[in-house]
Amino acid sequence: MNLHRPNANEALQTKNRSRSVAPQSGICSRCVDGCKGNCDLFKSTFRGRELLYPSPFGSITAGTDKDYPVDYSHLNIMGYAIGAEGIEAHPDHAIFPEVTTDTWYGTTEKVKMKIPMFTGALGSTEIARANWEHFAVGAAITGISLVCGENVCGIDPKLELDKNGMVKKAPDMERRVEQYRRYHEGYGDIMVQMNIEDTRLGVAEYVIDKLGVETIELKWGQGAKCIGGEIKVDNIERAQELQKRGYLVTPDPSSKSNQKAFKDGAIREFERHSRVGFLDQEDFMREVDRVRKLGAKRITLKTGAYPMRELAMAIRWSSDAKISLLTIDGAPGGTGMSPWRMMSEWGVLPYIFILWRMTCVSGLLKRVHGYRILLLPAAFHQKIIFLKLLHLEPLIVRRYVWDVP
Ligand code: SF4
């Protein structure tokens, strides 16, 4: 049984000619000579690069349709008749509209939230930039936390750098922080992510000093997938500008032959890559310390659906460094510039498996302490899944070594 429908996907804008398809390969039952169809097989013979990323970049958010045999829909909620949480267990008061979902996270500097929910990280992709205001205002009035993704300063066309190449003014970051704060009522927080390029550009220094941001999120890879973040750039001057700011850009826009190829139309776009941060315990501790000294009240870590070893490291190091929040992200989607095959085939995709692995690892780590765990299924779109997670939190977390302060 194939968990995909191979050889064609809407994310890549490919499809089979025939309704009858071999389930394992995805090839049409009759693959005919002279077919003008548009399956992966057909398209990759001459325009293979177009199958790398979901498209069109900048106007979509993608999510894999790999259909795992286990997910949250296999769980049912068991109600109970003794006691209540979030409301007084009294017949005159216990009605569901009155139940509170208030919660908090953090170690010393706690953040209150109206609902245990965060947005996904909205970073330097065009769709994230264009839709930021809706998310920011929605998060602020809902009382949840908002995550500003990586590279926002680095790709800002109006970015101003000082003589040391550090951020002096980043209007888009200013706009993002201001739009969240405009309706913020004391619940939730804005976190600004930092990858290697952000660190080199001094983004933490800028947002803490100039914008009063209190929470910096460190990253292990591009969230869930241990690759750097990528965006497409269809303008060679812009590609060169980003390269000058320290990004890795492919194909190299400073190469004379690539410049000629772009002029001739043989190269139509460039890819801006950001670097992968490889893990080292001492470096991690040092970076947490450095960002704290810059004035960050809270430091959080975002990592992905990596193997058990990295998961254990993330939990243990986060505990030792007393960071405020650890996010373990799944891998099955994004705002468009992760390779489609990574979205589909990378890491631990069903979040229910991530929960299981977290409980296994945390059960093995004897000295994890000082944390309250909020189990949040990323990219949930059904309220019922959210409710199931709220039920799972006490069942899973409190059973293991997590010491709720
Ligand atoms: S080339 Fe045409 S006939 Fe062959 S698998 Fe692709 S869509 Fe089907």
CB-based burial, 138-150: b 16+ in 10 Å, e otherwise: ebbebbbbbbbbb
Among 352, 263, 333, smallest CA distance to 61 is for: 333
- For ligand 1, atom 8: residue with the closest CA: 28
Single-letter code of the amino acid located at 79: G
In a domain, 262, yes or no: no
In a domain, 60, yes or no: no
CB of 32 sitting under 6 A from ligand 1 = yes
In a domain, 152, yes or no: yes
Residue 339 contacts residue 55 (beta carbons within 8 Å): no
Domain co-membership, 102 together with 167: yes
Ligand 1 nearest atom to the CA of residue 41, by list position: 6
CB of 8 sitting under 6 A from ligand 1 = no
Distance of CA 270 to the CA centre of its chain: 23
Q: How many domains does the chain have?
A: 2
Per-residue pLDDT, 404:
41
In a domain, 57, yes or no: no
- Measured in angstroms, how far is the CA atom of residue 272 from the centroid of ligand 1? 33
Domain co-membership, 224 together with 132: yes
Per-residue pLDDT, 405:
38
Domain co-membership, 110 together with 178: yes
Query: In 3-state terms, what secondary structure has residue 336?
Result: coil
Q: How many angstroms separate the CA atoms of 272 and 230, rounded?
A: 5
Per-residue pLDDT, 402:
41
- Measured in angstroms, how far is the CA atom of residue 391 from the centroid of ligand 1? 47
- Measured in angstroms, how far is the CA atom of residue 28 from the centroid of ligand 1? 5
In a domain, 261, yes or no: no
Domain co-membership, 122 together with 215: yes
Per-residue pLDDT, 245:
93
Burial of 164 (0-12, 13-18, 19+ CB in 10 A): exposed
In a domain, 66, yes or no: no
Q: List all residues 6 or more positions away from 305 whose beta carbon is below 8 Å from its beta carbon.
A: 224, 328, 329, 330, 331, 346, 347, 348, 349, 354
Among 144, 307, 344, 107, smallest CA distance to 221 is for: 307
CB of 18 sitting under 6 A from ligand 1 = yes
Domain co-membership, 161 together with 214: yes
Distance of CA 301 to the CA centre of its chain: 11
Backbone dihedral region of 23: left (phi > 0), alpha (psi from -120 to 50 degrees) or beta?
alpha
Domain co-membership, 45 together with 146: no
- Measured in angstroms, how far is the CA atom of residue 20 from the centroid of ligand 1? 11
In a domain, 214, yes or no: yes
Domain co-membership, 45 together with 103: no
Domain co-membership, 162 together with 213: yes
Per-residue pLDDT, 363:
60
Domain co-membership, 25 together with 127: no
- For ligand 1, atom 6: residue with the closest CA: 39
Query: In 3-state terms, what secondary structure has residue 209?
Result: helix
Per-residue pLDDT, 20:
96
Taking the chain, what is the end-to-end CA distance rounded to the nearest angstrom?
46
Question: Model's pTM, two decimal places?
Answer: 0.87
Domain of 97, in residue numbers: 72-229+274-402
170's tokens: 């980043």
- Measured in angstroms, how far is the CA atom of residue 232 from the centroid of ligand 1? 29
- For ligand 1, atom 4: residue with the closest CA: 31
Domain co-membership, 8 together with 145: no
Q: List all residues 6 or more positions away from 34 whose beta carbon is below 8 Å from its beta carbon.
A: none
In a domain, 184, yes or no: yes
CATH number of the domain within which 161 lies:
3.20.20
Mutating to test ligand 1, I would choose from 21, 38, 39, 44 the residue with most ligand atoms within 8 A of its C-beta, which is 39
CB of 31 sitting under 6 A from ligand 1 = yes
- Measured in angstroms, how far is the CA atom of residue 57 from the centroid of ligand 1? 25
- Measured in angstroms, how far is the CA atom of residue 35 from the centroid of ligand 1? 6
Domain co-membership, 291 together with 326: yes
Return the H-helix or E-strand segment holding 394. Answer: helix 383-396
pLDDT, one tens digit for every residue, the chain (405 residues): 888 889 999 999 999 999 999 999 999 999 999 998 899 999 999 888 889 889 888 888 888 888 888 777 888 888 888 998 889 999 999 998 998 888 888 878 889 999 888 888 898 888 899 999 999 999 999 999 999 999 999 999 999 999 999 999 999 999 999 999 999 999 999 999 999 999 999 999 999 999 999 999 998 866 567 777 778 899 999 999 999 999 999 999 999 999 999 999 999 999 988 888 788 899 999 999 999 999 999 999 988 767 888 888 888 888 889 888 888 777 777 776 788 888 888 876 666 666 666 666 666 555 555 555 555 555 556 677 777 777 766 555 444 434 443
Domain co-membership, 36 together with 115: no
Mutating to test ligand 1, I would choose from 14, 18, 29, 40 the residue with most ligand atoms within 8 A of its C-beta, which is 18
Q: What is the DSSP string of 99-111?
A: ----EEE-SSS-E
CB-based burial, 171-195: b 16+ in 10 Å, e otherwise: ebbbbbbebbeeebeebbbbbbbbb
